[in-house]
Amino acid sequence: MKAFAALLERLAFTPSRNAKLQLLQHYLERIPDPDRGWALAALTGDLQLRTVTPSLLRGLAAERVDDQLLSLSYDFVGDLAETIALIWPDGAQNDPPLSQAVALLQGTGKAALPAAIAAMLDRLGPSERLAFLKLATGNLRIGVSARMARLALAGMGAPTVPELEEIWHGLTPPYAPLFGWIAGGVKPESAALAPFRPVMLSTPTDLAELSALEPTDFHAEWKWDGIRVQAVSDGGVRRLYSRTGEDISTAFPDVIAAMEFDGTVDGELLVRRDAEVAPFGDLQKRLNRKSVGKGLLTSHPAGLRLYDLLIWQGRDLRGLPLEERRAILDSADFGPRIDVSPLLDFANWDDLAALRADPPAAVIEGVMIKRRDSPYIAGRPRGPWFKWKRDPMVVDAVLLYAQRGHGKRSGFHSDFTFGLWDGADLVPVGKAYFGFTDAELRELDRFVRANTVERFGPVRQLAPKLVVEVAFEGLNRSTRHKSGVAMRFPRISRIRWDKPAAEADHLSTLEAML
Amino acid sequence: MQADRILHPTEAGLYCPEGGFHIDPLRPVERALITHGHSDHARAGHGAVLATAQTLDIMRLRMGPDFAGTTQIADGPLRIGGVTVDFRPAGHVLGSSQISVTSGDCRIVVSGDYSRAPNPTCAPFEPVACDVFVTEATFGLPVFRFPGPATQVAKLIASMAEFPDRPHLIGAYALGKAQHVIALMREAGYDAPIAIHGALQAMCDYYRTQGVDLGVLVPATADQVTAQLVIAPPSAFASPWVQRFRDPVIGFASGWMAVRARARQRGVELPLVISDHVDWPALTATLTELSPSEVWVTHGAEEGVIRWCELAQIPARPLRLVGYEDEAE
């Protein structure tokens, strides 16, 4: 437990993704099976354990500690599991392995659980008690995605991220065959039906780059503003995956039900009402859910718009040219909720530029350009596929607050809140952390230090003087933001040292872009 | 009660009418007895100051030569007016003392800030039998059980090995904590040069004159600091000084780091639970050991300590002195 607890604590305070990755990889390299497998499953949320209620924990603590002191402590610490971990009397610490704690939480009956938890707490030191209680309450909150886990695993041995993705969904904790493979053993056979296949990604482009290419070598399609998914229907098993291989099937039963085909298809997940495709904000309401209610299924029906086939009726098409895959895709009948993204008609890049500039629907965010002869290659090869996104929207906003960054930006104010005019007031409309160069970061930091009017802990309120051009990819209505709108992917595209704050944009300008 | 006549709280701090002095007064007074050099206990502008030689040196270093009208070194029991005062080590920082005030057969010990954990940079706490023990309660809740400092130093050393290319910047207050952290690193066998922020230089130099071995220290003021370990006062992390370091790991050495929410507020990546105050087990063990007939609680989490005393059937009350912050933490 000691090593697991130390890892959890370190990850909890480490903001940088690379540093997290390194800590995770070194842990997995150092710790033997099965503990590392259990740890990995716990971090990625793939560990099914009995959940222990706060009232059970509180009851246990009340048996050991004066109730008034417990309450005072809880008020101070603010987290019940942490309070109990800190306050629990030290017993004989003998560092039981994580697998024992997991077995306890998996296999203990309800009646025996309180005594078993207390006995385990008696064997642990304070950090390990916290790790155990976080595990027991199902509340690690560490932020390690399955993708990050696969990156760490790929750093340990020969198997690459795409290879790991391919077998990921057939694996169960504590993953002994997986670690065996990484150590040079045999590749585990993917036992699961409907596995995820690593996807092919595009690179951004512009007219200058395209001009050097022959237009007739390429297909073009609209770039839809949904999320890229892979839908797999295999021997009666149906799954919907995000492009990083997260299984999102449970949130989309309507799409799963409509997948009346046999194969692995590539396309865009969209909310669709009859012929019309709804904006991204509507799709967002359906994302990140464990389950979905009837109301939402009716008001926000989801569907697929396909653009490629990987496997079709038992045949792997990935080695074929796009043109041939596309012909098979066009000849298939998918029934309701699923259709095929149309090809665009263009003779030269100027034609395509004109289409891109004036798409038929707001939910189109540019065009995709793909070589007709491209096989389906996992990863992001440069050349076969391009995305040519529409120009970002921009507003001129006033910097209102700044906060210091971490890691490489330690000591610099790099996190900015900006606002727009609403009558005589400036209303915060978003935050931006990037878009500026290192030299600009220094200038911004100097501005922040010289123009701080008040401090709230790590946050500085600024004199509303500096105008920045904020570029963003889209806008959604939002009830969580004071301004009522939320930007997607906002960044500072220019610093307008020249522009007086009074000439910054108004909220109404932003609302008009909705 | 008799003890109340010997010492009682006033707006300026604890006052002894028979001796005509205040202990750690919060505003300028005629005569002050100072437990230790932290700025919330040791202020400038008193008429006369009585303190240990080291505390007087430290006050001079921090506030300049004219910090008080006159000064007197506390050395052995001393009769002041109708009372006898004595200064005994508190184990908190260099020069820190408890002050015992005896009148007739009643003795009150004002412990100031104190610690029971071994500290290579100062003399250990010396228990003094007393009728009233005046205790701090900075960490007066049972959630504060500090791990051994060696485990925290090991954590720092492990992090420096895990991220060998990242400088480790550890926040530690200039008086006491900074030297404590450096000395702990030296005890753990770390003998590479340690860089210190300019604000720590004078105090580290002074500690050395008092026989505290801090090893090789180099200034962290150059554009290029080559030492991987850098100690700085916490305020330095908000200043542009930090910008000279590439991708630093920022840590903070404090008892408050035992609680995650506190560590998050600080925005640190490496919380180190290293304290110069008593934690809950040490505080309650001290009360048990001294077994005073009454406990007075100065500052911190008074309710926790008072509840413990209630359970242990020791009369206790808060003094509600306002103005002591936790500079040392």
* Domain-terminating residue out of A389, A405, A428: A389
Whether residue B264 and residue A19 make contact (CB cut-off 8 A), yes or no, is no
Average pLDDT, chain B: 94
Q: Do A22 and B162 touch (CB under 8 A)?
A: yes
Backbone angles phi, psi at B21, to 5 degrees: -135, 160
Q: Kind of pairing, strands B217-219 and B249-253?
A: unpaired
Q: Are residues A500 and A447 in the same domain?
A: yes
Question: Do A404 and A472 belong to one domain?
Answer: yes
Say whether A69 and B163 touch across the interface (CB within 8 A).
Answer: no
Is A458 within 8 Å of chain B by CB?
A: yes
Which is nearest to B272 in space by CA: A145, A9, A450?
A: A9
Residue B269 has pLDDT above 90, yes or no: yes
Rounded to 5 degrees, φ, ψ at A156 are -90, -20
A324 and A415, same structural domain? no
Total beta-carbon pairs less than 8 A apart between chain A and chain B: 91
Q: Does A421 touch chain B (CB under 8 A)?
A: no
The rounded percent of chain A whose pLDDT value lies above 90 is 76
Residue A244 to residue A68: CA distance in whole angstroms = 49
Tell me where in chain B the CATH 3.60.15.10 domain(s) lie. Answer: 2-143+277-318
CA distance A91 to B105: 42
Report if residue A382 sits inside a domain.
yes
Close Cβ partners of B265 (under 8 Å, ≥ 6 residues apart): A457
Task: Give the minimum alpha-carbon distance from A18 to chain B in angstroms, rounded to a whole number.
Answer: 11
Instruction: Judge: B142–A73 Cβ closer than 8 Å, yes or no.
Output: yes
Q: Are A241 and A196 in contact (CB under 8 A)?
A: yes
Is a pLDDT exceeding 80 seen at residue B274?
Answer: yes
Task: Give pLDDT tens digits for B6-41.
Answer: 999 999 999 999 999 999 999 999 999 999 999 999
Q: Is residue A211 part of a domain?
A: yes
Residue A326 belongs to a domain: yes
DSSP labels, A446-470: HHHHHTEEEEETTEEEE-TT-EEEE
Tell me what percent of the residues of chain B surpass a pLDDT of 90.
Answer: 89
A408 given a catalytic annotation: no
Closest CA to A476 of A485, A468, A467: A485
- ipTM of the modeled complex: 0.94
Cβ-contact A414, A441 below 8 angstroms: yes
Is there a single domain that holds both residue A234 and residue A352?
Answer: yes
Give the whole-angstrom CA distance, residue B282 versus residue B138.
12
Contact present, B231 and B270 (Cβ < 8 Å): no
A481: domain CATH number? 2.40.50.140
| B259–A26 CB contact, under 8 Å | no
Domain-embedded: residue A486 = yes
Given a cut of 50, whether residue B302 has pLDDT beyond it is yes
For residue B2, give both structure tokens: 């008799």
Encoding tokens for residue A24? 């995770």
Cβ-Cβ contacts under 8 Å, A23 against chain B: 162
Nearest to A459 by CA among A410, A400, A397, A398: A400
Q: Which of A366, A389, A412 is the last residue of a domain?
A: A389
- The Cα A309–Cα A304 span in angstroms is 13
Could you tell me the fold of the domain covering B149-272? Answer: Rossmann fold (3.40.50)
Which residue matches tokens 């987290």? A79
Angle (nearest 5°) at CA B119 between B115 and B123? 80
User: Helices then strands (H, E): number in chain A?
Assistant: 20, 20
Asked if A22 has any chain B CB less than 8 Å from its own CB, the reply is yes
Nearest to A69 among B145, B260, B307 (CB): B307
Locate tokens 């706060």: which residue? Answer: A54
Exactly one of A223, A285, A294, A431 is catalytic; name it. Answer: A223
Q: Which tens digit of pLDDT belongs to each residue from B57-95?
A: 999 999 999 999 999 999 999 999 999 999 999 999 999
Reading the block at residue A446, the tokens are 């100097």
Q: Is the same domain home to A414 and A494?
A: yes
Number of domains making up chain A: 2
User: A210: domain CATH number?
Assistant: 3.30.470.30
What three-state secondary structure class fits B267?
Answer: coil
> What is the per-residue pLDDT for B327?
44
Q: What is the pLDDT of residue A480?
A: 78
Q: At what angle do helices B302-312 and B280-290 cross, to 10 degrees?
A: 40
Residue pLDDT tens, chain A, 514 long = 999 999 999 999 998 999 999 999 999 999 999 999 999 999 988 888 888 999 999 999 999 999 999 999 999 999 999 999 999 998 877 889 999 999 999 999 999 999 999 999 999 999 999 999 999 998 787 878 888 999 999 999 999 998 898 888 888 999 999 999 999 999 987 667 888 998 999 999 999 999 999 999 999 999 999 999 999 999 889 999 999 888 899 999 999 999 999 999 999 999 998 788 998 889 988 988 878 999 999 999 999 999 999 999 999 999 999 999 999 999 999 989 999 999 999 999 999 999 999 999 888 999 999 999 999 998 899 999 999 998 889 999 999 999 988 877 888 899 999 999 999 999 999 999 989 998 999 999 999 999 999 988 778 999 999 999 999 988 888 887 788 888 989 999 999 999 999 999 999 999 988 8
Residues of A in contact with B163 (CB under 8 A): 19, 22
Q: How confident is the model at residue B328 (pLDDT cuts 50, 70, 90)?
A: very low
Confidence band of B325 (pLDDT split at 50, 70, 90): low
* Cis check: omega of the bond before A34, within 30 degrees of 0: yes
Distance in angstroms (rounded) separating the CA atoms of residues A307 and A270: 13
- What is the distance between the alpha carbons of residues A287 and A301, in angstroms, rounded to a whole number? 12
For residue A136, being part of any structural domain is answered with no
How far is Cα A434 from Cα A346, in angstroms, rounded to an integer?
A: 36
CA B227 and chain centroid, separation: 27
Range B89-103 average pLDDT: 98
Provide the pLDDT for residue B266.
83
Instruction: Calculate Rg over the CA atoms of chain A.
Output: 27
Same domain as A442, residue A384: no
At B201-259, the pLDDT tens digits run 999 999 999 999 999 999 998 878 899 999 999 989 988 999 999 999 999 999 999 99
Burial class (CB within 10 angstroms; exposed 0-12, middle 13-18, buried 19+) of A349: buried
Residue A263 counted as domain residue = yes
Q: Which of A372, A389, A406 is the last residue of a domain?
A: A389
Distance between A44 CA and the closest CA of chain B, angstroms = 22
What pLDDT was estimated at residue B321?
A: 77
Across A424-461, b (16+ Cβ under 10 Å) vs e yields: eebbbbbebeebbeeeebeebbebbeebbeeeeeeebe
Place of tokens 């890049």: A349
The residues on B that touch A, with CB distances below 8 Å, are 141-145, 147, 155, 159, 162-163, 169, 237-243, 245-248, 250, 258-261, 263-265, 267-271, 301, 303-304, 307-308, 311
Task: Tokens for A428, please give them.
Answer: 């915060």
d(CA A169, CA A192): 7
Look at residues B251, B205, B199, B253 and name the one whose alpha carbon lies nearest to residue B228. Answer: B251
Q: Do B259 and A76 touch (CB under 8 A)?
A: yes
State how far residue A417 is from chain B, nearest Cα, in angstroms.
18
A104 domain residue, yes or no: no
The answer on A310 and A276 residing in a single domain is yes
Q: Domain residues for A339?
A: 203-389
Q: Please, where in chain B does CATH 3.40.50 lie?
A: 149-272
| Cβ neighbours of B311 in A, within 8 Å | 66
Asked whether the beta carbons of residue A445 and residue B141 sit closer than 8 angstroms, the reply is: no
3-state secondary structure A141-208: CCCCCHHHHHHHHHCCCCCCHHHHHHHHCCCCCCCHHHHHHHCCCCCCCCCCCCCCCCCECCEECCHH
Contact A142, A12 (CB under 8 A): yes
Of A289, A308, A271, residue with least CA distance to A197: A308
User: Per CATH, is B2-143+277-318 categorized as 3.60.15.10?
Assistant: yes
Contact A429, A418 (CB under 8 A): yes
Whether B101 and B117 have beta carbons less than 8 Å apart is answered as no
SS (H, E, C) A313-373: CCEECCCCCHHHHHHHHHHCCCCCCEEECCECCCCCHHHHHHHHHCCCCCCEEEEEEEECC
> Facing residues of B194 across strands?
B217
What is each CA distance from A491 to A482, A499, A504, B180, B268, in whole angstroms?
19, 18, 16, 44, 26
DSSP string, A234-247: ETTEEEEEETT--B
Residue type, B227: A
Residue A147 lies in a domain: no
A494 and A438 assigned to the same domain: yes
Residues A265 and A346 in one domain: yes
- Nearest partner of A394 among A491, A307, A308, A478, judged by Cα: A491
